Structure 1
Amino acid sequence: MSEDANDDVMEQLRRIDTSVAHPARVYDYWLGGKDNYAADRETGDQILKVMPELAVIARAEREFLARVVRHLVVEADVRQFLDIGTGIPSADNTHEVAQAAAPDARIVYVDNDPIVLAHARALLRGTPEGSTMYIDADLRDPATILRQAAESLDFTRPVGLMLLGVLEFVPDDEQAYAVVAELMEALPSGSHLTVASSVSTPDMDRAAAIWNDSGATPITIRTPEQLMGFYKGMDLVEPGMVSLPKWRPEPTTQYAGQEVSQYGAVGRKS
């Protein structure tokens, strides 16, 4: 990282408001990470009191990501990934899974969180044959994402678009559908869309209310039917839209077959 980039990271860190919970840091707390503050832990604990399952969901989502990436690399021959809303680096990040199977894989990460920016060095460590890149941008600005991602990705070849745990933070349904449609429109045939998102249940709705009352970035919980709206015109990979542990479980998958309030699917663009 250049001296100018390092100065930018330090400036971003100075702007972090540690008095208000942040999605990436709460998620990090649930995963047992150390990049979180008192406000994140307090909000995280309040939510876990009404929905202990969220700690399970956090781990299930990481496993889901790894299974999807392996599937796309090994079975769909995808060598490029655009991972938006990547969050704080944890185990089995997209580039680690993809490049373990295909060292020449190219990954672009996108997030607008200064904590994630500070961890960009970890995200950018990949194989010599492949490429990793980090973009500081917002999902709601797809034009900027696509313009900068084109510096690393070849948009004439299939891309795996990963949107895990991020669409909840685009509250307006029309805007959320439009953003995903614009991103997928720029990708060629053979590209894949992966969405993982919380789904509405009484406990999840109560947890979302606590989250929104905390002053953190508000979230919107959707139904599985609403999540299917992101896949218009695409062919769903089996088994379709399901609870995350039920999507192509492997022998090492925790909670395999368990129903959790986080659903996901993978769709292929024809």
Structure 2
Amino acid sequence: MSGTHTPSGGSPRLNTSVAHNARVWNYWIGGKDNYEVDQRVGEQVAGMFPVIRDVARADRDFLGRAVRHLAAERGIRQFLDVGTGLPTVDNTHEIAQRIAPDSRIVYVDNDPIVLAHARTLLTSTPEGVTGYIDADVHDPDTIVAGAAATLDLGRPVAVMMLGILNFVLETDRAREIVRRIMAAVPPGSYLVLTHPTYDADLGGEGNVPAMEFWNANATPPITARGRAEVAAFLEGLDLVEPGLVPCSQWRADAPSPAAVPQFGAVAVKP
């Protein structure tokens, strides 16, 4: 890119001297809410691991398919989107409320740039509600308590955890976060998950050096996991077909899409 877009707003915690995941991800999917440092790191990572742009787009497309499936075919009217990221085209509330205007959505993030864009996220249909919680994924109790102010936790909720558990470096801690949040929602609720992998059969071995560079030059630190580790986040839940697959291939709109080194799954709490 030949220029730098400076996001409006701000926060005392905003640090524009170090690349940040929400802004780099925004850059990879063609957004403008990023700084020169994010562009530099994004280009370096993409040079080391060219498929990362495909991963970013596939993850975003998976979100759309999963929300449409849950709202249109499963009757879900409540969504808890943990690790929202920067708003772009077709955010969770827009997709859900297009199908069911009375849908209620709560976004969760703690990035100051995302906070600056909260007004965009907080739009809603008159029939529905959209809320926002400033909270960290490492604090599931705060997330649940905040969600309860907007969502009816006695009714099914779709818990969206796309590309967020990879920022919880300890696998046992990540599993406990999932357990705590899913324990707070009733049977008939769903977990929607994506997670990067280093599995070689999906082309994920390049994630290892790319993430080493990322962890030395950007924030927050990140990790990839193998299929068995990702599957463990879904224990006690019933997978929706086609199960745990590359997110590009989960109920794909196009025939035979290429695999990406990013797992995707939707599972229901029995």
Range of TM-score over shorter length:
over 0.9
The match for 2:73 is: 75
- Rounded Cα–Cα distance in structure 1 between residues aligned with 2:13 and 2:132: 19
The alpha-carbon deviation at position 259 of structure 1 amounts to 0.8
The match for 2:147 is: 149
Amino acid at match of 1:218: P
The alpha-carbon deviation at position 215 of structure 1 amounts to 4.1
- Rounded Cα–Cα distance in structure 1 between residues aligned with 2:225 and 2:179: 17
- Rounded Cα–Cα distance in structure 1 between residues aligned with 2:208 and 2:107: 29
The match for 1:257 is: 257
Query: 1:89-125 deviations in whole A, cap 9, x for unaligned?
Result: 0111000000000000000000010100000010011
- Provide TM-score, normalisation by structure 1: 0.93
Determine helix, strand or coil for the equivalent of 2:133.
strand
Q: Does 1:231 align with 2:234?
A: yes
Query: 1:33-69 deviations in whole A, cap 9, x for unaligned?
Result: 1111111111101100111111111111111000000
Spell out the pairing of 1:172-183 with structure 2 (5 A cutoff).
Answer: 172-183=170-181
- Rounded Cα–Cα distance in structure 2 between residues aligned with 1:245 and 1:36: 25
Spell out the pairing of 1:17-166 with structure 2 (5 A cutoff).
Answer: 17-166=15-164
**Among 215, 219, 232, the residue aligned to 1:216:** 219
- Rounded Cα–Cα distance in structure 2 between residues aligned with 1:248 and 1:199: 19
Amino acid at match of 2:178: V
The alpha-carbon deviation at position 126 of structure 1 amounts to 1.3
- Rounded Cα–Cα distance in structure 1 between residues aligned with 2:253 and 2:232: 28
- Rounded Cα–Cα distance in structure 2 between residues aligned with 1:29 and 1:128: 32
Determine helix, strand or coil for the equivalent of 1:81.
strand
Would the aligned equivalents of 1:62 and 1:92 in 2 still touch at CA under 8 Å? no
**Among 185, 188, 191, the residue aligned to 1:190:** 188
Amino acid at match of 1:269: K
Question: RMSD value over aligned CA atoms?
Answer: 1.3
Task: List gaps (5 residues or longer) in structure 1.
Answer: 1-8
Task: List gaps (5 residues or longer) in structure 2.
Answer: 1-7, 199-203
Amino acid at match of 2:225: R
- Provide TM-score, normalisation by structure 2: 0.93
Query: 1:150-201 deviations in whole A, cap 9, x for unaligned?
Result: 0110011000000001111000011100010000000000000011011112
Aligned length: 258
Amino acid at match of 2:243: G
- Rounded Cα–Cα distance in structure 1 between residues aligned with 2:190 and 2:258: 25
How much identity, in percent, do the aligned residues show? 50
Amino acid at match of 1:50: M
- Rounded Cα–Cα distance in structure 1 between residues aligned with 2:212 and 2:259: 22
The alpha-carbon deviation at position 249 of structure 1 amounts to 1.0
